[in-house]
Amino acid sequence: MPGREECEVALLTFKVAVCAVAWVFPLALFLGWLLARRRFPLRSLVETLLLLPLVLPPSALGFLLLWLLSEQSPCGRALGALGLEPLFTWQAAALASGVIAFPLMLRFCQAGFQSVDRRLESMARTLGASRLRVLGAVTLPLARRGLLAALVIGFARAISEFGATLIVAGNIPGQTRTLPLAIYSSLLTGQDALALRFAAMSIALALLALILFRRLEPAGEGER
Amino acid sequence: MTRLAALLLALVPCACGRPEGEVILLAAASLEPHFAPLLAQRSGVRVAYGASGALARQMEQGVPAEVVILADARDGEHLVQQGVLEEGSLVPFLQNRLVLISARPELRSRRLALEDLAAAPFARIAVGDPDLVPVGRYTLEALEAKGLLEQLRPRLVPLQTVRAVWSAVTVLACDAGFVYATDVTEAEQAQILCEVDPALHRPIVFVIGLRREASPAARALYQELRSPAVLARLTGAGFLRPRGE
């Protein structure tokens, strides 16, 4: 049976990942649509920059975020003036995992929109639907699988985030110690059995997310 | 393509094994700024720095390190009990002092007493993670002795090494932090607000030890690190000689 500590860690991990996905999804949705549907100058440069967190070492990203949020930077000072000090809180963990999960979510949103037949959209337009109506009644429902896949894969990435989180949120028991950090800490303190339980929980969560993801994958079998 | 594969295969042995006779030294993270120039010219040593609690654990798990320097005698004694270190090889190496530092511009050239900490406008105080990082254990002992621990606990940010505490303070991610006096290498980056009374915590003794059945090269390194020349350089950097030597 999982003890109190394990439940606390699992709950926190879940909270952080849900919040990470929640703040990043609207961005990924909008930018994914933009990249799939619009031509604009420097489009490929923008696309490359947005994918950067996927290949950058998480520690480098963590360092950037640390600088941005600390009082060294204008951004951190502005936040401080508003009474916001996110460093070493679970909110910082959600921010960091969101940034790390963003490129994956963007990719799947983009693919979701690209899979929608544009002729269906123009047909709806000629039948008198407004742009917004087309988006709500045609594009979004047809891109549904890609968008859901983006949510699931983003969540899976967020629950496994380690490097950037450690830097901006620390490893504070009960506050910012998520599953990957709990595995690390229990290993270092010689609690192998606990580490094993945490690892088993991670595997279970990751498998669940992957099974869900396989069923949603836009190119997967099923409707097609 | 086959030629490339052959080349890569040929490189595998070079990438894996360590050079013959190389000694692995594990050292407390606080020694990194001082050891790096010291060991730069010396060949045949590979140093890994980290939190002493983590280093002790790594040795216990079989990391092939032969010489170890830890910032807490307890971690060293644990390794002797586990039969990892050679009995009698574990000796006091250096002593250190605990200081409270800050990089906040408005605190420049201010002095604080430890008691003022509760009232000070510090939202986040960086400390070593007491599970693994000796400087955190000494800090908590001192705060406990002053009766400040329960009050300050919500504001403490445990970090993974003493160097991480230093960084968190200098980049202003934390308002203040507890480090060793020898960590304050660049006075422009952070200033000492308070020197913690050594009577409030166990003596901060760095210990050096040798793995059982260590190689002659490792024994030579162990002796060399304890030589008067090396100790003179380290005491010049602010470390203290252990008492009774």
Q: Report pLDDT digits (tens) over A197-210.
A: 999 999 999 899 88
Return the top range by mean pLDDT from A81-85, A127-131, B3-7, B69-73.
Answer: B69-73
**How many angstroms separate the CA of residue B106 from the nearest CA in chain A?**
13
B245 vs chain A: nearest CA distance in angstroms? Answer: 33
Query: Coil, helix or strand for B169?
Result: helix
- Specify the pLDDT at position B11: 55
Greatest pairwise CA separation for chain A in angstroms = 67
> pLDDT band at residue B127, thresholds of 50, 70 and 90?
very high
Contact in structure between A105 and A151 (CB atoms under 8 Å): yes
Do residues B70 and B55 touch, judged by C-beta distance below 8 A?
A: yes
Count of CA atoms in the C-beta half-sphere (13 A) of B198: 9
Residues of B in contact with A175 (CB under 8 A): none
A171 and B158 within 8 Å at the Cβ level: the answer is yes
User: Closest partner residue to B158 among A87, A170, A190, by Cβ?
Assistant: A170
Residue of B nearest to A168 (CA): B173
Per-residue model confidence as pLDDT tens digits over B202-241:
999 999 999 998 999 999 999 999 999 999 999 999 999 9
CATH of domain B98-200: 3.40.190.10
Q: Which of A99-108, B24-33, B110-119, B199-208 has the lowest mean pLDDT?
A: B110-119
**Interchain pair A188, B131: CB under 8 A:** yes
The answer to whether the Cβ–Cβ distance between A72 and B160 falls below 8 Å is no
Give yes or no for residue A220 having a pLDDT over 50.
no
Residues of B in contact with A189 (CB under 8 A): 53, 57, 131-132
Is residue B146 over pLDDT 90? yes
Residue with tokens 């830890």: B70
- A182: distance to nearest CA of chain B, Å? 13
Angle at A152 between CA A151 and CA A156, to 5 degrees: 120
Which pLDDT score is estimated for A126? Answer: 93
What distances in angstroms separate CA A172 from CA A80, A181, A183, one per listed residue? Answer: 21, 9, 13
Whether residue B90 is predicted with pLDDT greater than 70 in this model: the reply is yes
Q: Return the amino acid letter for B52.
A: S
Q: What is the pLDDT of residues A122-156, one digit of tens each?
A: 999 999 999 999 999 999 999 999 999 999 999 99
CA pair distance A88, A166, nearest whole angstrom: 9
Partners of residue B50 on adjacent β-strands: B28
**B51 chain-A contacts, CB cut-off 8 A:** 188
Where in chain A does DSSP place strands (E)? none
Distance from CA of A56 to the nearest CA of B (A): 21
Chain A residues whose C-beta is within 8 A of a chain B C-beta are: 66-67, 69-72, 76, 85, 87-88, 166, 170-173, 185, 188-190
**pLDDT band per the 50, 70, 90 thresholds, residue A217:** low
Q: What is the DSSP string of A47-99?
A: HHHHHHHHHS-HHHHHHHHHHHHSTTSHHHHHHHHTT---TTSHHHHHHHHHH
Q: What is the pLDDT of residues B149-174, one digit of tens each?
A: 999 999 999 999 999 999 999 988 99
pLDDT at B245: 52
pLDDT value at A224 more than 50: no
Put simply, the answer to whether A172 touches B57 (Cβ < 8 Å) is: no
Contact A88 B54 (CB under 8 A): no
Average pLDDT over residues B28-54: 91
Q: Using CB atoms, pick whichever of A72, A85, A188 lies closest to residue B171.
A: A72
Q: Is B46 helix (H, G, I), strand (E, B) or coil?
A: strand
How large is the average pLDDT for residues A14-25?
A: 96
Select from B52, B104, B165, B172 the residue whose CB has the most chain A CBs within 10 Å, as the one to mutate to test that interface. Answer: B172
- Interface contact A188-B172, CB threshold 8 A: no
Is there a contact between B160 and A166 if contact means CB atoms under 8 Å apart?
yes
Torsion (CA) A114, A115, A116, A118 in degrees, nearest 10: 60
Residues B27 and A222: their CA atoms lie apart, in Å, by 57
Q: Give the model's pLDDT for residue B105.
A: 86
Superfamily of domain A4-216: MetI-like (1.10.3720.10)
Q: Is the pLDDT of residue B43 over 90?
A: no
Amino acid letter, B160: Q
Put simply, the answer to whether B171 touches A66 (Cβ < 8 Å) is yes
With a cut of 60, say whether residue A218 has pLDDT above it: no
> What pLDDT is recorded for position B186?
79
Q: Which residue has the higher pLDDT, B202 or B188?
A: B202
Instruction: Say yes or no for a CB contact (<8 Å) between A170 and B172.
Output: no
C-alpha A100/C-alpha A97 separation (Å) is: 5
Mean of the per-residue pLDDT values of chain B:
89
Task: State residue B121's pLDDT score.
Answer: 81
Contact B206, B28 (CB under 8 A): yes
SS3 B101: strand
Q: How many CB pairs under 8 A join A and B?
A: 44
Q: Where do the structural domains in chain B lie, given as residue ranges?
A: 19-95+204-236, 98-200
Q: Superfamily assignment of B19-95+204-236 in CATH?
A: Periplasmic binding protein-like II (3.40.190.10)
**Start-to-end Cα distance in chain A:** 42
pLDDT score at A166: 93
Q: For residue A85, which residues of chain B lie inside 8 Å, CB to CB?
A: 123-124
Torsion over CA of A21, A22, A23 and A26, rounded to 10 degrees?
100
Q: What is the mean pLDDT of chain A?
A: 91
Contacts of B160 in chain A (CB under 8 A): 166, 171
Same fold, B19-95+204-236 and B98-200: yes
Which amino acid, B130?
Answer: P
Q: A90-114 vs A144-159: helix axis angle to the nearest 10?
A: 150
